[in-house]
């Protein structure tokens, strides 16, 4: 994967001012300047007074305000706010359309109108309006959105020669770097806050899911800044602001930004025409190495992720990995959790080869593993049960690696899964993701077998299901 390289300082005065803030104290020099800021000492008080102004002036035109509108169907029920009757009468009342509005920020990534924002800002919007810093307004459409990563790529209509930010390789970001958080909260105008990178490899702590992987900053992220830019002192984008952990609910707290390396993958896939984001498939489960396991494996400290299970078609299984092996690094970057493993594979990109460092039997070895999507083998072969069956309108599919990955099933899952339970099935307690093991004692291995068993079940229907790793039996009188 190739990222746009960092540009040199564009303002010697700005560089000098930043250096002064870091290196000068009331009595003289405090510390040596950092390696990344190899510039001269400020020559005048005027240079020191410049602060971040030149950087802000150059970066803010690429940060936009986003207005998103979504129309949803809601029921107006007199029991909606009642703690007891709201559940019993949740389907009571007239269905009426209701408009939901959201407000956030975005960052222009290219001169031809590609914009990145958060999924929770635009992911399900029906209408999107983007307002630039110079007050120009454009319609936009979502090209690619992913709830797990909380990222979305938009395309502005009828634009050219837009100001934009370059993506920096976020793996080169270091704790302690000066950063600015820029956004356009609530449409009142852009705000800029400063701070430092206070942490890296923060996973599962902000908006998103177990796939989350974030840059942590103490730069205040104001409400409404979701989707805004986190930039370095060169004006390069290192992350997209996504959330803040705050006891008060305000902007004072710990901010999180999605790394630019992941943004690059979204941009590349949207340019390639993908309508959903695809990640490389590991086909494995694992957990972090603890102190006892580290000592037993000859490690001087806990590091890496131990493999618990592997799917038979996993690219790791096909390259000699087995349960009990410890994965220490991907492409030379150390990992310590499944979330980091997923992130490192994702930023490597589909179609590439990741060099994975494995510890097995006390021996370390670097192994190249292809980055592939989860296979659709066997084909899903969806089947919708007819009205003459015991559970009409239910959609059944074959389980394959892609289905396992999409619905987060156990790696050992086989057979037939309920993709959509239908109206009757939902009332009966069936859920999307349930695996059907048997119907009235007949083992189920294909959607056709299930459909046949549901056509003549007799006076009772007995379903044996696998849900969340546990087996359950449901019986119905017909």
Q: How far is CA 199 from the centre of its chain?
A: 18
Structural tokens at position 350: 């589909």
Structure-block tokens of residue 428: 């009966």
- Domain holding 70: CATH number? 2.40.10.10
From the candidates 102, 105, 117, 120, give the one annotated as an active-site residue.
120
Examine the domain organization and report whether 28 and 102 are in the same domain.
no
Average pLDDT, the chain: 83
261 and 182 within one domain: yes
pLDDT score, position 255: 84
> From CA 200, how far away is CA 325, in angstroms rounded?
26
20-36 pLDDT, tens digit per residue, is 444 444 444 444 444 44
Is residue 226 part of the annotated active site? The answer reads: yes
- pLDDT < 70: residue spans in the chain: 1-50, 71-102, 185-188, 201-212, 223-224, 244-253
The helix (H) or strand (E) run that includes residue 97 is strand 94-108
CATH number at residue 391: 2.30.42.60
**Cβ(244)–Cβ(226) below 8 Å:** no
Single out the residue in 271, 306, 324 at which a domain terminates: 271
299 and 326 housed in the same domain: yes
- Check residue 91 and give its pLDDT: 55
Supply the pLDDT for residue 12: 43
Write out the H or E segment, with its range, that includes residue 359: strand 353-360
Catalytic residue among 150, 325, 434, 451: 150
Dihedral Cα 113, 114, 118, 120, nearest 10 deg: 70
Run of H or E residues at 426 = helix 422-428
Same domain? For 387 and 306 the reply is: no
**Which residue segment(s) compose the domain that 358 sits in?**
284-370
CA distance 33 to 396: 63
Residues 266 and 317 in one domain: no
Domain count, the chain: 5
pLDDT recorded at residue 8: 40
Do 180 and 264 share a structural domain? yes
**Dist CA 240 CA 228 (whole Å):** 6
The reply to whether 278 falls in a domain is: no
pLDDT at residue 244 in the model: 61
**For the segment 409-453, what is each residue's pLDDT rounded down to a tens digit?**
999 999 999 999 999 999 999 999 999 999 999 999 999 999 999
Q: Which long-range contacts (CB under 8 A, 24 or more apart) does 131-139 make?
A: 131/64, 131/65, 131/66, 131/67, 131/184, 131/187, 132/61, 132/64, 132/162, 133/60, 133/61, 133/62, 133/63, 133/64, 133/163, 133/184, 133/190, 134/61, 138/113
For residues 335 and 252, membership in a common domain is answered with: no
Is the residue at 423 inside a domain?
Answer: yes
Which of 16, 226, 251, 297 is labelled catalytic? Answer: 226
pTM for the predicted model, two decimal places: 0.79
pLDDT of residue 11: 46
Distances (CA, A) of 149 to 231, 243, 304, 451: 20, 12, 23, 37
Report if residue 339 sits inside a domain: yes
């Amino acid at each position: 994967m190739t990222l746009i390289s960092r540009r040199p300082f564009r303002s010697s005065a700005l560089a000098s001012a930043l250096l002064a803030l870091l290196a000068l104290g009331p009595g003289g020099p405090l510390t040596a300047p950092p390696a990344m800021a190899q510039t001269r000492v400020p020559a005048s008080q005027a240079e020191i007074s410049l602060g971040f102004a030149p950087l802000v002036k150059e970066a803010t035109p690429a940060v936009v305000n986003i207005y998103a509108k979504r129309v949803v169907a809601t029921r107006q029920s007199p029991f909606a706010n009642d703690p007891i009757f709201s559940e019993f009468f949740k389907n009571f009342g007239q269905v009426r359309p209701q408009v939901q509005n959201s407000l956030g920020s975005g960052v222009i990534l290219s001169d031809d109108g590609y914009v990145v924002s958060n999924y929770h800002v635009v992911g399900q919007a029906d209408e999107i309006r983007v307002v630039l810093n110079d007050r120009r307004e454009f319609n936009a459409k979502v090209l690619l959105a992913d709830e797990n990563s909380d990222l979305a790529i938009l395309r502005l209509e009828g634009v050219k020669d837009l100001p934009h930010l370059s993506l920096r390789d976020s793996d080169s970001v270091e704790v302690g770097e000066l950063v600015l958080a820029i956004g356009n909260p609530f449409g009142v105008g852009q705000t800029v806050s400063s701070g430092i990178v206070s942490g890296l490899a923060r996973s599962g702590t902000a908006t998103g899911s177990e796939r989350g992987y974030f840059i942590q900053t103490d730069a205040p992220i104001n409400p409404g800044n979701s989707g805004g830019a986190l930039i370095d002192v060169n004006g390069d984008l290192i992350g997209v602001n996504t959330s803040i952990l705050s006891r008060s609910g305000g902007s004072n707290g710990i901010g999180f930004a999605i790394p630019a390396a992941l943004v690059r993958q979204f941009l590349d896939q949207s340019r390639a025409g993908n309508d959903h984001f695809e990640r490389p498939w590991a086909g494995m489960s694992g957990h972090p190495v603890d102190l006892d396991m580290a000592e037993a494996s000859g490690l001087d400290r806990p590091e890496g992720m131990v493999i618990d299970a592997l799917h038979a078609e996993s690219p790791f299984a096909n390259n000699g990995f087995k349960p009990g092996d410890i994965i220490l690094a991907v492409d030379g970057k150390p990992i310590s959790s499944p979330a980091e493993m997923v992130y490192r594979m994702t930023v490597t990109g589909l179609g590439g080869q990741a060099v994975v460092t494995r510890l097995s039997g006390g021996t370390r070895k670097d192994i190249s593993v292809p980055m592939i999507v989860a296979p659709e083998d066997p084909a899903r072969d969806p089947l919708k049960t007819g009205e003459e069956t015991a559970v009409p309108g239910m959609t059944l599919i074959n389980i394959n690696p892609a289905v396992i990955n999409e619905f987060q099933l156990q790696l050992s899952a086989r057979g037939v899964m309920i993709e959509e339970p239908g109206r009757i099935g939902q009332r009966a307690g069936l859920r999307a993701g349930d695996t059907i093991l048997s119907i009235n004692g007949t083992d189920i291995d294909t959607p056709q077998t299930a459909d046949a068993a549901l056509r003549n079940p007799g006076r009772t229907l007995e379903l044996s299901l696998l849900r969340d790793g546990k087996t359950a039996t449901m019986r119905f009188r017909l």
